Structure formats: structure tokens, C-alpha cells
Structure 1
């Protein structure tokens, strides 16, 4: 074999290897998500990988990254190469859309305004409910300490704030009365958590507070991590509907060539298998059949939509959570 032929052979081998490497890289996906959804996506990823292998005949890898929803949105905006985002508030996705990271019409890309599941806010209290906490009004009592996520850093905290505000309006109260209620409730907050998992750790590991306001799905997570019998779930008289929006990160998939895989990943969240997995993690499925099947887990609770009192989460963000907004005016730590 001549030197020229050897060179061609080596070059062809290297080119084939590079092509194979690129193909392998194209079949990996990063889902950047909020921290309370960690266990759900761990199970979902396994199901999707098996589904994709069965239907496409291709092996893929799915990685996940979890933290506070808003912190994750900022990380993706700053360059974290997520293929998809699966957050707990639409404002975090819209933030990326406004910066050209996801499609402007992201909410029309998938059913239910790109929200395959929902949740709601409830209370976790210590076993036996020693403070006899039953409804929102109890959270302003001087003997009750409340653990909640900072609404400026996490969707969990924003929904808790909006649910508390809306609970006053649902009973016929005015916005002024709702603002006073918020002021009193946050006076009982000894420390604002950074995200949902930080709030749970503060409540259970640091043993701070009498009640934790969090997503319904956190009940299952607490029981799995800390064991049953540590907390009781208290469903207040009314709460808020929390959408879990999803989107393809166009900036990343355009570079990696993973657009088809990213779409398949988010599409499958609407499948019966995925909806069943969501239900097992106490995340409310969109499927009425699956929801009915798990009626024992998803207790009936009157819920109001964000739009009823706040227009939209985008409007709520501007009025309540941006710097200088209502939260900054009403939250008075140490007073």
C-alpha cells in the first residue's frame, strides 16, 4: 500500500469517526427544569428513552439539570445549552422568548398552551398538625411560622404569593385587603427559601417553621426522601392552578441539530404513559382519564386561574415581582 493510499485510508477513517461522534452527540438531550420536578423527570426520561428506542431504533441519552425555575431560566439565557426547558411558570419561558432563546410563539407549539401538566399549592404541616392549620387565614396567626420560596427567585414562591393574594379575593376581599394579608403572612416568614427543594430542606432538615407552602407534588417527594409520617398535607379552602410550561430551546437545537429529538421529547409528555408517570408523582395530568383514575391522590380543591385576578403571569411579574413591585413594598423582614 502506497503512502498516498494509506493517507486516504486514515483520512476516511477519521472522517467516519468524526461523523459517528457528531451523530452520537446529536442523540443527546439536556432538559433544564425546576427542582421539585427532579424525580418525575428521572422516571420520565427512562420511559422516553425506551419509547424512542422502540419507535426509532436509536439509542439516546437524556441529561437533566434542576434548580429554582427562574434561576434556570437565567442560566439558559446566559448560555447553558439546554435543548428543552420544563419550568413551573410561564414567565420563565416567556423571559427566554423575549430574548430570542425560545420561539416567540412557544405557547402554541404544544397542546394546552404548552403545558402538559398542572399543579396547585397546598400546605405541609408537621405530623398531627400541632398548630391546627387549616386555611390561609391561619398563616397570619402570631404563633405560626411560614416557610415559602422567595417569589423573586422561584416559580414555587410566585404561585404561593398569588394563591395567598387570590384567597382573599375569592372570599370577596379587595386588592387592598389582599395586600394587607400578604404583609401579615410574610411577617411570619423567618427565612425565604431559594427554591422548592431548599424550602423543603429548611422545613424538614433544619426543622424551621410550622407550615410549608409548596406544590402538591412535593408531598410524594417528601415521603420518598424522608419517609411517611413526617408531614401531613392540608388542602386549603381554595388555591391556584399552576401550569407547568415546556419549550424547545431553539438556539441550542439549531446548533446541535436536535430539534426533532427535542420535539419528540416534549410531545411524549402528553402520552398516556407520561401522564401516568406524572400522576404517580402527584403532578396533575391533563388526561381526564388518568386524573380520574387517581382521584384518591388528587383531592378536589376549588382552584382559580392566574388570569382571574392578575391578567397573566407576565402581568403579575411586572406588578408584583419585578424590582420595586408589590412584593418589595409589602415584604418587611425583621419588622
Structure 2
């Protein structure tokens, strides 16, 4: 069955079976997310909370925590009491699961393997694209400064690394060609911020760099706020970004009503209303009909390759490229 079919059937919000308690309760959830999703979750929360309160009689508050995705995962593992995690990829969500906070099988609890939306990595350039940046090879031309976050701490950072690597090897380049390319790319990164929003600040507010390698949604936000001073360039090829969502089992079971609210919250993301909100904020909804209607007018035509085209899976990609002793450690020397 398609995702659209699942949404229309099993989890349409109007048919969700909430079990109202005997007396109303005050419930406060914490959504721990990655850096550039602040605006999205504020909008989703404003729509979901009144629906849930009407259905259950409970008073619901949803707090948000944001930062570099890998840093956020570590914070949850170290004790930040997230009810749900909405992190940048499988790598970070699975790290929380491996710590024992999320039960096995989490990825199959929600439709589309717990992916309410997907995304990708694009370029943001200065008005008029003065450096003529159109594709990944342009980023290593002499004199080009690229802004991208640290792949060790940021989902934007490691997805950009994977996208850069794939842009070489999936066009016929060798492993050595890819190593040479990313070596040159990171030599021309003047600032390596810890998270996506920090990189945005560096590029937009501080005016550093010629191109920002950014989340697609962040790119659209930057351009809208820059009022004509920035432009988006969609590279011909980029990574298929997969930001998974999950209930943090160990935490939600500590307080009455938290599991029910957290599960309803994530199921809401698959309703037509929420899928439209995702598209509005430039996240690619997994509802096929809504996505199809958005391609062309909202999202660019980009060949998005899955991680399995450059590695066995997400953990293998991390081990090869970003983990201790991986490619990034061998090619990047912090500026003194």
C-alpha cells in the first residue's frame, strides 16, 4: 500500500483512537530536533495541539530543542528527556535507540519506515550568482569559499559530505578522485560551524563565503528573508536525506499520558493537513499526491541518490566517511 493509502486509512487523525482519561491532565512533551526545524515544528505544534486537546480534554504543551543533529542525539543519550526525537537521519535516531532509550523495531512503527518527509542538500549563492556556481565541481574552483557545517556534529554537515562524495563517484569518479575532491572542498571552507543554523548565520548575517551548502528548507528560508540578496541553485545531483522520527520509549513511559500524546503527535505528521504544512516549509512530504503537486512550483528537480549508492547503509557511511579514523579525519585539518 502507498503512503497516501496508509494516511487515508489507518491513521487519519479523525479516526485516531485516543482514550480520554477520567479527568483532564496537563501534559508537556519535549521534541528534540535538528538545527533548522524551529519554524516547522512551531507551525505543526500550533495545528496539532488544539486538535489533541479537543479529542482528549487534556492540556498539551510541546517544547522544542534544536542544535546539530548528532549533538542533539548525544544530549538525549546523556539525559535530555525527549519524548520524541525528530533528528536529521537514521544515524542519530539509531544512536538513541542503541543506547536503550528506544525499543527495537522503532523504524516500522509508523508509515514509510518512520519517514513523514524527506529532503536534500542544495546551494545558496549571492544575488546574481557572481561566481557562476551551478554544480559540485564549481565548489573547488580557485577562490570559491564554501560554508557548510561540521559533519561530526551536524546532520547538514554529514549529509553535505555524503552528497559531495556521491557527486564524484556516481559520475564515474574513483575513490581517489572523491578523496581529492572533498580534500579541496574543505580546504576552501573558512568556517566550520557546529550546526546548520550557525552556518546560516555565518553566510547570511556575517556575509562570509560565496556559497552555502544547505538543507533545502533552510535554503528557501534564507532566500525569503534575504529579500532578493540570495538565490537558490539546485545541483543536478544530491543526497536523499531521510530525517526519521521516533517516540523515546524509556522517557514517555515515565509519566502518565506522555506515550499517548507522543504517539498521536508523530501520527499526525502523516495526515493531509500536516503533509501540506511540511510542503509549505519546504520539506518533501511522503504523501505522493501532495509531493507531486509541489514538484516544480515548490521543489527543484534534483536526482537524489540514496545512501546505499555510496555505502552499504547509513552506519557504514558514517564509519567510512565521518566516524573516527574515517575519510573526513584524514582530509580535514582545522585552521589555526
TM-score (norm 2): 0.90
Work out the CA distance in 2 between the residues paired with 1:287 and 1:97: 26
Runs of 4+, deviation exceeding 6 Å: none
Q: Partner residue of 1:122? A: 122
Work out the CA distance in 1 between the residues paired with 2:335 and 2:65: 34
Q: Partner residue of 1:3? A: none
Q: Partner residue of 1:301? A: 302
**If you compute each CA radius of gyration, which structure gives the higher value, 1 or 2?**
1
Question: Counting helix residues as a fraction of each chain, which structure ranks higher?
Answer: 1
Contact 2:223 / 2:231 at 8 angstroms: preserved in 1? no
1:20 Cα deviation after fit: 7.5
Work out the CA distance in 2 between the residues paired with 1:286 and 1:219: 20
Contact 1:187 / 1:333 at 8 angstroms: preserved in 2? no
1:334 Cα deviation after fit: 4.3
Contact 1:144 / 1:209 at 8 angstroms: preserved in 2? yes
Contact 1:320 / 1:326 at 8 angstroms: preserved in 2? yes
Work out the CA distance in 2 between the residues paired with 1:230 and 1:282: 19
Q: Partner residue of 2:11? A: none
| Structure 1 residues 17-56: aligned runs within 5 Å | 23-24=25-26, 27-56=27-56
Work out the CA distance in 1 between the residues paired with 2:187 and 2:48: 44
Work out the CA distance in 2 between the residues paired with 1:33 and 1:187: 30
User: Structure 1 residues 214-223 or 85-94, which shifts more?
Assistant: 214-223
Q: Partner residue of 2:277? A: 277
**Count of paired positions:** 313
1:332 Cα deviation after fit: 2.8
User: Structure 1 residues 135-144 or 292-301, which shifts more?
Assistant: 292-301
1:112 Cα deviation after fit: 1.4
Contact 1:149 / 1:156 at 8 angstroms: preserved in 2? yes
| Structure 1 residues 61-210: aligned runs within 5 Å | 61-210=61-210
Work out the CA distance in 2 between the residues paired with 1:93 and 1:298: 26
Work out the CA distance in 2 between the residues paired with 1:308 and 1:113: 19
Structure 1: give runs of 5+ residues left out of the alignment.
1-18
Deviations 1:51-98 (A, max 9, x none): 212333333111111111111111111111110000111111111111
TM-score (norm 1): 0.90
* Residue 326 (1) aligns with residue 334 (2): no
Over aligned residue pairs, what C-alpha RMSD do you find? Answer: 1.6
Contact 2:44 / 2:277 at 8 angstroms: preserved in 1? yes
Contact 1:39 / 1:221 at 8 angstroms: preserved in 2? no
User: Structure 1 residues 58-67 or 164-173, which shifts more?
Assistant: 58-67
Partner of 1:242, secondary structure, is coil
Partner of 1:213, secondary structure, is strand
Q: Partner residue of 1:248? A: 247
Contact 2:73 / 2:92 at 8 angstroms: preserved in 1? yes
Contact 2:223 / 2:232 at 8 angstroms: preserved in 1? no
Work out the CA distance in 2 between the residues paired with 1:34 and 1:251: 20
Work out the CA distance in 1 between the residues paired with 2:226 and 2:326: 39
Structure 2: give runs of 5+ residues left out of the alignment.
1-21
Contact 2:186 / 2:332 at 8 angstroms: preserved in 1? yes
Deviations 1:10-58 (A, max 9, x none): xxxxxxxxx989x32xx22110101111100000001111221233333
